Structure 1
Amino acid sequence: MIFHLLVFTFILVGFSEYPDLQVPLFLVFLTIYTVTVLGNLGMILIIRINPKLHTPMYFFLSHLSLVDFCYSTVVTPKLLENLVVEDRTISFTGCILQFFFACIFVVTETFMLAAMAYDRFVAVCNPLLYTAVMSQKLCSLLVAASYSWGIICSLMFIYFLLTLSFCGTKFINNFICEHAAIVAVSCSDPYVSRQSIFVAAIFNEISSLLIIFTSYVFIFVTVMRMPSAQGRYKAFSTCASHLTAITIFHGPILFLYCVPTSKSSWLLVKVASVFYTVVIPMLNPLIYSLRNKDVKETVKKLINTILL
């Protein structure tokens, strides 16, 4: 059975039903991926070289950039390849590995954003204790826990996928080896596998969003008690980038994995998958860099150094 699965191949349908859009889509996704790579690796470099950014918030942000770079790299190169070649096959092993790593990084980002919300809560509500509470040990522990839970969830999903058998049609109606698309071509009952990812997604979303919601309730109450309008504006502005990142990340995830009827339109599934695997990794460094004076100053210095 295992050997049969190892030699089994799938065909990623992707956007092949739109032949006239193959080249335009390739150029668009190539541009997005280039910006993603430069933006996220650039953000990591900027945080490392600027001592002003050696704070807990930017420690989390550097890992967020690493996660964004990784899961975009897991998905986008194969997407680009399938837009320019006729052979869109992917081995069963390759498909499972793509899903495995993509799942790790998506789950990790879910809880990385929650950890960043807790960091903002401590910074706004307990500024005098911020350095003591958000110690390097705690920050490292929160990051390690996010990665570890991502790996655990991925291994669980892979286990249930490997209990399925595959036969007949081998067309995966997506550009990525996404869970619903894989189980859709299984010839055994995928109920347990579907329920496992549904329950895990609900748990991950509820737990992470509960941390985020609770943190921002306390932040809002604290900010509204501030006597100075300028102080309120400054406090809210430090959270604006994070709230934007949370909104654009959780929307597609909730649609894809927490709404049972969302699989009724595979085109919508593909669009949502493009958004959270290709577009969001590009947006995060832009969201954080455009609103931060220290980041913008470091970028200018870096560009001037390269040009000189």
Structure 2
Amino acid sequence: MLLTKLPKSSVNQSKRLRRRLRNIIDSLTPQNHPGKRILPFVLFILFLFITNNLFTISQTECQLDREVCPPEIVQKLDKLTGSNILFLNQKQLSGVLMDSFPVEKVGIGFQMFNTLKVNLDGGHPPILTMVYLVKELPMVSVDKASGSTESAGWPKPSEELKIFTQNASPSSFGIWDNGRMTPVATDEAKIIYILSKKPDEETVKSLYRLTKIANKYLNVDSILVLGQRVFLSQADQPDIIVSVPFDEEQVSEAIKSYSYLVTLKKDVKVIDLRFKNPIIR
């Protein structure tokens, strides 16, 4: 865990300020003056007042991989407004941030004047996703004709799902390689995730890996997830169906053979990789 201490310049500045105040008061006060006895106390109170104002957190700045931090992290940091940076437990704050968010490094600093700066390094960046929470998952045409290999009478599942989400309001999330999903601020994402309940970490991990494989071997326009099923959509090409979690080796080899699979049948709408042998429809 990477922690940055309070800048030395800030500490040295407060020490210089304290010595300067003492010298000024000493020069203005005769050696035998009665007030000389209470000068240390007055100086101490004045020092505390100035220090409190100089090092009180009035605003926070947070970046994750050089982008603005998501709302849930910003809200945690905003609670520190009004506190003094000198009494901030940086180790404890770093622990709270790492428990709340899948980051690898936390940097904490203080910028004059009165700004707490936090830099987070996420290691592997999240995959942006638009999530649609529904009471019941919609049915696509490929489900209604599950007993047939013919596809001429129905559209591609990806097209149906895009229409389904047109009138719905999504929430934006980041999908991480460790299986966590966290809110992010974005209006666009390649992945559309339709779900009726919160997915488990293994499913999210699997979806993260599948997305990386798809982006490596295919020219994917969008990825639509319906519960445990993933539809990989390409322009003017059949949809690829994969279930998550999935057999990574088996699916990777099938995706590499995609250009061959699409030639095995005319008017193909989907290539289903949920089974040991791909089903072409």
TM-score (norm 1): 0.21
**Larger helix proportion of the pair:** 1
**Larger strand proportion of the pair:** 2
Rg comparison, structure with higher value: 2
Structure number with the bigger relative contact order (C-alpha 8 A, sep ≥ 6) is 1
